[in-house]
Amino acid sequence: METGASTTNLNNHLKTCSKKPRGNTSDLKQAELAFTKSRQENVDLATWVFNQDDIRNALINMIITDELPFNFVEGEGFKFFISIACPRFHLPSHWTIRKGCLDLFNSMKNTLKQSFQKETSRICLTTDTWTSLQRISYMVLTAHWIDDEWKLQKRIINFFPISAHRGESIGQALEKCLRDWGIEKVFAITVDNASSNNVAVDYLRKKLVHRKACVANGKYIHMRCAAHIINLIVQEGVKDASISVDRVRGAVRYIRASPSRLFKFNHRAKEEMVGTKAHLCLDVPTRWNSTYMMLNVAEKYECVFEAYVHDDHNFFLDLSGGYGVSTCDDWENVRRVTKVLEPFHELTLKVSGSLHVTSNTFFEVVTGVHCLLDGWKHCGDLDIMSMASKMNDKYKKYWGDSKVMNLLIYLAVIFDPRRKIDFLAFGVNLLFPTIADDIIRMVNRELHYLFDEYSAIIEGNHHMNVEVESNFPIRAPSSSENEIDQVKPKIGLVMQQYMKKKQRVGLESKSELDRYLGEDCENNSDSFDLLLWWKVNSPRFPIVAQMARDVLSVPISTVASESAFSTSGRVLDNFRISLTPSMVEALVCTQDWLRRSKDPINLEEYVEELQNIDDELSVLSTVFEEDEA
């Protein structure tokens, strides 16, 4: 620019330029440069175009994912933030956000329904019930399947109020959900051991068999939650030390009831130089094996609890009005119970996996519990021997009779190429030595029946494909190829034909299933990917692979459904209890579909959230009782 040149024209142009961002202009289409952060945390330079709809949709996504109230968009702080971050964005009202949440739910639901119709594998289900702060009983239904890319998928597909906990009512509700989603192929449904669930599954089995929507006439459809059975076994053993456990639970509850108490407790822990930073946690006696988590942490603070009696006189008075203050004998009992519960806690974590298949581990869990209880029978500690005896009685009720166990527990072992029949035979001889051979023969027979049923479906489609391929013309050999064939030694040509014929006859004499079972087991290692193995080998065993997809997708615990209760407990907090059931379902389901977290379900955090919900329910019950009085 020359010296003395004027910029008046440029300034006048900037004042009237339609492309210059200013105020709340919303119709700009010109791309701008912006720094974007990728999933690998790398910052890249990219183009960005302002779009009112895209930003509003992202806002709706945030409201659902982060469990924010609808009126969050009307808060003064958020309005100020938007005015600085994106002044061109028109903030929608909370009614618009509410409608957007429902629209997103319906859109994603339609997409998911279409994917179910295209899915070639069968759907497995888990379900459970929960009571909200409004005293409304909700049922959650979660779908599990392995897709065509051999990836384990899980989606919450329903979260709705249920009027009664009767078995037939639950069964009818499940049937209605399946019809609504258009799910025609169901393999199994995993439930806890409530008697009403037995009735519900029997009702659903009859309906599915009538519609020919399940295999083997619904023989495998009822899967009992392994984690729930482990919990029942554990609670039976803990009864021997129930007073000691109750005293520790009372002490933990007292400390956690007040921030000032917790602060004073932590201060005392520093003075006592306790070598742990673990936080005190309460168990949820009716859910999972959480008693171990509580006792395992509390036992490390034994000296702090003893000293805290002198710091807070109300601590002694409060506990004396209940089960009393923990004594040295109580803490010794707690250490003994913790020792017993530790392996059961590890088994609970094993069966509660949410990112990998678990059905192939069910039989291993059963044998593991058997070995634990059998070993404790002669450990020499009379208290542990007594606990083991009572736990063994509960174990026999559910897993002591091979006839009442779902055959899928056996079949799933066979579809693990690291184990197959050999591992199953070893375990069965361990559990049922007198009838082991009969069980193996029965499992082998049922396995081939199931293979024949899958073959009838899959091979029908295969024959149609073969007929289409046979219509293509076969290329005739050229004259030069004929001349080459003529000069080949006749003895070699005859030998090749003979060997091919013999190989073909040998393959035809063995079924695809027998070939799979006849191969050596794969080496077991921590890096072994079961679904990846089947993805690679499915072309060799197409029918067996389809069986494996359905069997391995069966969840052996209801943790996927019960974990939705912690979400719904936050969605229906004290500030959002006016939400309608349909809106609750939309928020819970859509959040699950949006997140699709790659992180496993954390049982410690899960139990913490359930305890908070139970505390809120207790407070609400007290309020209701006072109002009624």
Torsion sign across C-alpha atoms 383, 384, 388, 391: positive
CB proximity list for 527: less than 8 A, separation 6 or greater: none
Residue 226 to residue 219: CA distance in whole angstroms = 18
CB 125 within 8 A of CB 141: yes
Q: Higher pLDDT residue, 355 or 434?
A: 434
Edge-first strand listing for the sheet containing 222-224:
152-161, 137-146, 123-131, 186-191, 222-224
Band of pLDDT at residue 428, cut at 50, 70 and 90: very high
If phi > 0 it is left, if psi is from -120 to 50 it is alpha, else beta; for residue 324 that is: left
Q: Using alpha carbons, select from 524, 528, 508, 551 the residue that is nearest to residue 422.
A: 524
Nearest-5° Cα angle at 425, 419 to 430: 115
pLDDT of residue 472: 37
Q: Using alpha carbons, select from 142, 70, 121, 69 the residue that is nearest to residue 99.
A: 70
CB 602 within 8 A of CB 182: no
Band of pLDDT at residue 17, cut at 50, 70 and 90: low
**Within a 10 A sphere around the Cβ of 499, how many other Cβ atoms?**
10
**For the chain, which residues make up each domain, given as ranges?**
101-225+558-596, 231-408
CB proximity list for 557: less than 8 A, separation 6 or greater: 126, 190, 225, 226, 227, 228, 351, 352, 358
CB 625 within 8 A of CB 193: no
Q: How many residues does the chain have?
A: 629
* Out of 111-115, 572-576, 586-590, least confident range: 572-576
Q: What is the rounded average pLDDT of the residues 435-463?
A: 86
- The pLDDT tens digits of the residues spanning 97-140 come to 999 999 999 999 999 999 998 888 899 999 988 776 667 788 89
Distances in whole angstroms, Cα of residue 58 to Cα of each of 65, 109, 136: 10, 18, 31
Q: Is 280 helix (H, G, I), strand (E, B) or coil?
A: coil
CB 446 within 8 A of CB 413: no
For 416, phi then psi, to 5°, come to: -100, 110
Residue 548 to residue 358: CA distance in whole angstroms = 12
For 152, phi then psi, to 5°, come to: -75, 125
The residue to which tokens 């087991």 are assigned: 521
Band of pLDDT at residue 619, cut at 50, 70 and 90: very low
Q: Using alpha carbons, select from 347, 345, 391, 372 the residue that is nearest to residue 430.
A: 372
CATH of segment(s) 101-225+558-596: 3.30.420
The residue to which tokens 């017993």 are assigned: 340
pTM confidence score: 0.78
Burial code of 70-104, b = ≥16 C-beta within 10 A, e = fewer?
A: beebeeeeeeeebeeeeebbebbeeebbbebbeeb
Band of pLDDT at residue 337, cut at 50, 70 and 90: confident
Residue 225 to residue 362: CA distance in whole angstroms = 10
- Checking if the pLDDT of 601 tops 70, the result is no
- Checking if the pLDDT of 576 tops 70, the result is no
Distances in whole angstroms, Cα of residue 357 to Cα of each of 153, 154, 191, 253, 343: 10, 11, 17, 36, 21
Distances in whole angstroms, Cα of residue 194 to Cα of each of 140, 201, 232, 407: 16, 11, 12, 20
Q: Is 12 helix (H, G, I), strand (E, B) or coil?
A: helix
- In percent, the amount of the chain with pLDDT more than 70 equals 77
Mean of all residue pLDDT scores within the chain: 81
- The pLDDT tens digits of the residues spanning 311-334 come to 888 888 888 888 888 999 999 989
Band of pLDDT at residue 18, cut at 50, 70 and 90: low
Amino acid identity of residue 149, one-letter, is E
CB proximity list for 336: less than 8 A, separation 6 or greater: 241, 381, 383, 384
- The pLDDT tens digits of the residues spanning 483-537 come to 444 444 455 555 555 455 444 444 445 799 999 999 999 998 888 999 999 999 9
CB 418 within 8 A of CB 382: no
What would you measure as the largest C-alpha separation in the chain, in angstroms? 108
**Within a 10 A sphere around the Cβ of 182, how many other Cβ atoms?**
10
Q: Is 485 helix (H, G, I), strand (E, B) or coil?
A: helix
DSSP string, 586-597: HHHHHHHHHH--
What tokens were used for 311? 């710091």
CB 327 within 8 A of CB 309: no
Q: What is the rounded average pLDDT of the residues 251-266?
A: 91
Q: Which residues pair with 158 in a beta bridge?
A: 141
- The pLDDT tens digits of the residues spanning 508-521 come to 457 999 999 999 99
